[in-house]
Every structure is written in C-alpha cells, then in structure tokens.
Chain A
Amino acid sequence: MAIKNKISKLIKKVDDFCLKALGSFLLIRRAAPGFHMPDDDTEVAESGDFASRAEQFDIKNEDLFNQFEVFMDAYNELIESLQIDPEHLDHETFENAGQLIDTLNKRYERIMSNPYLNMGENYEEDFNPGDLTKFVQEVVSDAEKKLQSVAGEDIDISEMRANQYAQEFNDNKNIDRGDQNITWTGNKVQQNLEARKEWFKKLMFIKKVGKSHPEYERYDRYITLRREGFKRFLDNLKQTNPTKWREWQNKENERVKKHFSKEENIQKKRVKDVEKAKKIRDVKQSGTLEGLITHLKQKVASKKSDVVKALKAKAGQDPFFNPYKKAIADAKTAMDANPSPATQKALEDAIRGEADALKNYLDNHPAVTKVKEDLARLYAFRDKAKQASDSGWINDEGIPNEVKPYLYQLVVEGEELDQQYKKQYKVLCDAILAITEFIKGKL
C-alpha cells in the first residue's frame, strides 16, 4: 500500500510538473530554430553533456546568471536523486524527487519569464537568448525522460504534453491556431493518460500480491528492465567517472545503512533472513544435486572467510607495518603540535602509505595467491556440477545417454580434486565427493 501511495504521489508530481513546465508555450516557441537577436553571432554547441553545454553560457546579467545556476543545481540534484535502485525506493526518495521537481519547475519558469531575455537592444550577452531557452527546455526534457524511466515506462509524458497543448489551444487566445506544431488530441489523450495510470496502479498491485498473482510475470519483466537499466548506469559511471561512481556508492551505502537502522526495517530483514536460511536449508536437505552444490558453495564461502580472518590476524601482528604505524604516530604528533593544512596533508600521506602497503601485503600474500589458484579449480568443478543440475539431466526418468560422458568426466574430476586437495581442504573435498557419489548413484 505504501509503495502504491508513493508512486501515486510521484505521478501527481509528474502531472503538476508537466502542466507547469509547459505553461509558457509562447516563450518556448522563442527557442525555435531561426529565432535570432539582431546583434547575436556566437555559435553554441547543441550536443554533449548538459554540464559542459551549460558552461558555454557565460552570462553577464547577474539576475539571469543566478537563475541559471540554481536551475542547473536543481537539475543535477534531481538526476542524482533519481539514480536509485528500484528495490531501495522509499518514502524519502519520492519526497526528495518530488520536491526537486517542483524546484526545477519553478526555476525553469523564472528563466523563461525573465524579461531580460526580451529586452532587445539592452540585451548584453554573447549568445542568442533563443539558444539559452532552448537549452533550458532540453534540460527540462531530459529531466522528464529520466523521471519517466524511474516513475515507470507507463507514464507517457509526450501524451501529457499533447494534452497540455490541446488545453493551451483552447484557453489561450494568443496562440496561433494554424500552428503546425500544435497537436489537437482532446479528451482521447486524457482517456489514454488515465488508462495508463490505472495500468501502473495494477502493476503495483501485482507487485503487492507477489508471485502468486497470475500476471506476476508482467511485473517481473518491468522490474528486470529497470534493474538492468540501473546496472548499466552504474557500470557506465564506473568507467567514465570512477570518482563520481565512488561518491555515489558511498551515498548509496549511507542510505542503505540509514534504511536498515530503522526498527521496522530491521524486523523485515530478520524475517527475510529467516526465510532465506530456511530456503537454503530446504534445498540442502532436499537430497538433490542442487542441495549438494549449495552445501559446497557454503563451505567454499566459509573457507574464504577463514583464510581472510587468519591473514588479517597475521597482518595485525606483523612487524613489517611498524615503520608505517610510526610514521602515522609522528604525523599525528606533529599535527597536534601545529595544526595546519601542511601537517594534515602529511598525516593523510602517512595513512595513504600504510593503506597502500597493507593492500599490497594482503593481495599478494603467498597464502592468498595459493588459495585463489586452488579455489579456481574448485569453482570450475562447482560450475560444471551446477550446469548438470540446472539442465535437469538427472531426474526420475533417467539420464539421457548423450550427457552421460559429461557426467562421468565430472565424477573423475571430482575424485582427482579430492586426491589433490583433501589434506588442505578436507571439508570442501567431502562436499565434492558427496556430489560425485550422488552422480555415480544415478548413472
């Protein structure tokens, strides 16, 4: 129910936003190609990212400059607030996005109605006012698009726009009724819009009912699409702007931390964890190949965790780090005696030195290298076993002849691993042998 209310709220915000943002129809027209101030000759790039393009408008008029700056700030904030994993959408997120949309809209309107842009001879800028208003409009459109992708693909803002134009056409006698750009769609658009909203409400209802809903696949497709989009966004950000990506991750971590510090969410998580543990236990006890693979996976995870704990405990005692610790202590003493940017930087450098040494020590420790090599072989076996399990080759109707060689090979590989590693990884090898025995019993 809560999420439904939040979505409804957001839809309302989108409605309000579109109504307001498209209110200045005549001003938007000023941005049309062909509109030029008489003394204007500076070319303005029409492609590239919005942040770079915004830099092109070196605004002299203080009032317009301030309006433009805060407008871009609102846009950047809005875009950032919208880049959130759908799974983590919460009341606060929607509230924030809603407030930012209002803010962006208000600032947009201020620019579009700024009389300075129509002052003619008193206009002092090096760029065409039409280019600025066109750019501002593009920024708003981009915000609409991003908002649409978060609010759901079902919200068709272009139809809202068409509807708005239709209303403008009726209400505003100043609009040229012969204008080819105006789309007359009347009530049909309104009906479609309402139908789409209902569709979205139904989608949220399907989500609420969960997997038992006969049309759950619809919601599943929808949410998969959005999660993939979010993943693409993060992957792209990681490659193009690693620093920004890290900042974003930190913010996300903070938000998740805040979310899970609330009592109701802690309770929900406990319930989920219990359900998950039960599910894993059921699979493990099911007597199937999948259960044995799950058991192996858990043992591998435990082994990794043990290795990490042991190595970090060793590093904690290793005198190798004494010089680094001393450097930090000295830098701290110097900073206490004379707090300044220089002593602060010296302390940061000392911490960085220790961090680099520690990272290098942990990543390249012979014990880690050896375990990673060994685990790579165990992973290969686990993946092959998983393929056999996922393919459903082993069932009550017998194993197809064509896959039997694959399974015999898997048994041989498992037994070889046991021979090679049983001294170091007894628990893992026992789990592997349980899998080979299971397969042998079915062959």
Chain B
Amino acid sequence: MNKQARKAALEKIIKKAEQDALIKKVAEDSDVNSAEDATSYSERVFQKLLAEIKIDGLED
C-alpha cells in the first residue's frame, strides 16, 4: 500500500469513527425510551442527524 492509499484508508477509518460517535450521540440524545410514537421519534432522529452532520468543505 503506497503512502496515498494509506492516507486514504486512514481518513476512512477516522470518518467512520466520527460517524460512529455521532450515531451514538444521536441515539443517546434521542431517548428511545420516550413514550412518543415511532413516526415522530423517527422524524426527531432525522432532524438531529441533519443538525449534527457536517458537510465536508463547507462546515469544517
């Protein structure tokens, strides 16, 4: 594996770790045990992901 490929692989790992942490955070913050119905829970998760996910190059 050359240097560039290693760098790309590493970046992929970092992105995955970031994404994992983000999903964990959203899942925890969204309180799955709340009594609300499944549709509004799903919408709330979506809005939270939308707020948390950053667009590469525009929100760095």
Contacts and interface: CB of A to CB of B under 8 A. Distances in A.
Contacts of A355: 19, 22-23, 26, 49, 53
Interface stretch (A208-216, A258-266, A275-283, A308-316): A308-316
Contact of B32 (A243, A325, A335): A335
B55 A321 contact: no
A328 B57 contact: no
A329 B43 CA distance: 9
Main secondary structure of the interface of B (DSSP, over half): helix
Interface stretch (A47-55, A345-353, A388-396): A345-353
A336 B41 CA distance: 12
Given A325-B42, A347-B27, A355-B26, A362 B14 contact: no
B23 A368 contact: no
Contacts, number: 93
Nearest to A326: B42
Contacts of B46: 316, 321, 324-325, 328, 354, 358
Nearest to A332: B38
A359 B26 contact: no
A359 B38 contact: no
Interface in B1-48: 10, 13-14, 16-23, 25-27, 32, 38-39, 41-43, 45-47
A325 B43 contact: yes
Given A311-B55, A316-B50, A351 B38 contact: no
Interface of B: 10, 13-14, 16-23, 25-27, 32, 38-39, 41-43, 45-47, 49-50, 53, 55-59
Sorted nearest first, the 10 A-B pairs with minimum C-beta distance are A242-B17, A329-B38, A329-B42, A328-B42, A332-B38, A246-B21, A242-B14, A333-B38, A325-B42, A372-B57
23 contacts: A239-B10, A242-B14, A242-B16, A243-B20, A246-B17, A246-B18, A304-B59, A316-B47, A321-B46, A325-B39, A328-B45, A329-B41, A329-B42, A332-B41, A351-B23, A351-B49, A354-B49, A355-B26, A355-B49, A356-B19, A358-B53, A362-B53, A368-B57
